[in-house]
Amino acid sequence: MENRITLPKLVEWLKEVKDPEIPVVSLVDLGVITDVKLSSQKVIVNMTPTFTGCPAMDYMVNDVKATLKSKGVEDVEVIVSFNRQWSSNNISEKGRKALKEFGLAPPPHYDTIVDIEILEQTPCPFCSSNNTELKTPFGPTLCRAIHYCHSCKQSFEQFKPV
Amino acid sequence: MNIEAIKNLLYKMADDQLILGHRNSEWIGQGPLLEEDIAFASMAQDKVGQSYTLYQMLNELGEDEPDKVAFLRMAEQFHNSQFVELPIGEYDFSLIRHFLFDTADYYRFDMLINSSIEPISLLARKLKGECRYHSMHADGWIKKLGNGTDESINRLQSALSYAIPYALGIFEESKMEDTLIEENIFGGEILLRERWIEHIDKVISQTQLVLPDLALESPHFGGRYGIHTEHLQPLLNEMSEVIATDPTADW
């Protein structure tokens, strides 16, 4: 079994592991899995949290291990570190599309620093209007902010830029 | 590399985050607005998570494991500033504390990005990004309520005057301050205080509040050396209720 495991296969399998709080986005597309290494002895998966206080991190680590195990990968080590840090810029295009379909405004790309201006110009994920307002930078999870759309008159959540 | 100086720095940061995180969590279910309830709960979660990461770093330097360090020390073993242990009071005080403390926190992590100790520099970059939201939130409310009604302005002004001597206590220097600065581990409390003053002055000048003359204030020092108010030990007792009841409990 071991010799049939390849790096592209591992990445495909890891794409099956979803964010427990946003079950439409894989940890690969979210950018939480930062590196995968395959040696003759074992598989090493590097991960980094979106927020240091993210309570879902332990679940994600266990999900990664369980998923690879179900594919026949026995020896998996998961390393959680801040060496390669998560930034909302790391979310893939596929991940952004999935977030929007889920009803979460994807985070805008930013250059060096997150400014209040980019938070206040968040297009509505439901009607795409730019006539929106930031209500609070804190939401139901650490990684979400709450906005209001004046066009379709609905609150919406945003995966916030960090 | 001076391990004692690094531990000293990490302890005061971790203890500040842990204690203020717990204080912030007392707003859960009691915020003046649902959004504020959620904001203080989120900031509490951020801070407790940040303290955990800092205690983990201390653990790697030979200190006890995070849960033991967090829940099994007595008040005099804590290095947090007295400011963070004060009860939450009314929303005006909690908001002013949030503004004054989180501004300092943001600039502390900004300075630590330049630390000569790589793991500290990497973590600081991460934490600065999170604290930016705390600081943004605080600035927004100070500007809104500091230009609001007579009641909101008066309440914030008296909370500010009460809080300032405690807030200045954040910048109490450690015994190893010179080492921290010479070895480029941390730029030092004096520099941090200058950057803090610049920011709070800028925000307050956009409101009808008046920043007290800082030169006339005597800071409430002592917290960094284990001297605390009567409010810390009862909080620690409450925080450690589970582990005290059952030391093998898992949570």
Predicted local confidence at residue A60, as pLDDT: 95
- Provide the shortest C-alpha distance from residue B8 to chain A (in Å): 21
pLDDT, tens digit, 9 for 90 and up, residues B153-181: 999 999 999 999 999 999 999 999 999 99
More confident position, B15 or A113: B15
Predicted local confidence at residue A109, as pLDDT: 87
The answer to whether residues A162 and A114 touch, using CB atoms and an 8 Å cutoff, is yes
Contacts of B47 in chain A (CB under 8 A): 53
Residue B213, CB half-sphere, CA atoms under 13 Å: how many? 2
CA gap A112, A98 in Å, rounded:
25
- Helix (H) / strand (E) containing B23: helix B3-25
The answer to whether residues B86 and B229 touch, using CB atoms and an 8 Å cutoff, is yes
- Helix (H) / strand (E) containing B123: helix B118-145
Boundaries of every domain in chain B: 3-245
Q: What are phi and psi of B189, to 5 degrees?
A: -70, -30
Q: Give B35's contacts (C-beta < 8 A, 6+ positions apart).
A: A135, A136, A138, A146
* Mutant choice from B25, B42, B51 vs A, greatest count of A C-beta within 10 A: B42
- Provide the shortest C-alpha distance from residue B132 to chain A (in Å): 8
Q: Is the pLDDT of residue A34 over 60?
A: yes
Q: Decide yes or no: CATH 1.20.1260.10 for domain B3-245.
A: yes
Question: What is the 3-class SS of chain A, one letter each residue?
Answer: CHHHCCHHHHHHHHCCCEECCEEEEEHHHHCCEEEEEECCCCEEEEECCCCCCCCCHHHHHHHHHHHHHHCCCCCEEEEECCCCCCCHHHCCHHHHHHHHHCCEECCCCCCCCCCHHHHHCCCCCCCCCCCEEEEECCCCCCCEEEEEECCCCEEEEEECCC
Mean pLDDT of chain A: 90
Option in A83, A136, A160 nearest B38 (CB): A136
Q: Give A34's contacts (C-beta < 8 A, 6+ positions apart).
A: A46, A47, A48, A84, A86
Spatial CA neighbour of B4 closest among B192, B177, B205: B177
CA gap A23, A99 in Å, rounded:
10
pLDDT, tens digit, 9 for 90 and up, residues B31-77: 999 999 999 999 999 999 999 999 999 999 999 999 999 999 999 99
Boundaries of every domain in chain A: 2-86, 103-159
What is this model's ipTM? Answer: 0.85
Vertex B168 angle, CA B164 and B172, to 5°: 160
pLDDT, tens digit, 9 for 90 and up, residues A98-136: 999 999 999 988 877 777 677 788 999 999 999 999 988
**B190-195 contacts: CB < 8 A, separation 24 or more?**
B191/B111, B192/B104, B192/B107, B192/B108, B192/B111, B193/B168, B195/B107, B195/B110, B195/B111
Predicted local confidence at residue A5, as pLDDT: 86
pLDDT, tens digit, 9 for 90 and up, residues A53-70: 888 899 999 999 999 999
Note the maximum CA span of chain A: 57
Give the model's confidence band at A3: pLDDT under 50 very low, under 70 low, under 90 confident, else very high. Answer: low
* Mutant choice from A86, A115, A138 vs B, greatest count of B C-beta within 10 A: A138
CATH homologous superfamily for A2-86?
Fe-S cluster assembly (FSCA) (3.30.300.130)
Spatial CA neighbour of B102 closest among B135, B128, B145: B135
- Helix (H) / strand (E) containing B243: helix B241-245
Contacts of B132 in chain A (CB under 8 A): 113-114
- Provide the shortest C-alpha distance from residue B100 to chain A (in Å): 19
- B73 class by beta-carbon count within 10 Å (0-12 exposed, 13-18 middle, 19+ buried): middle
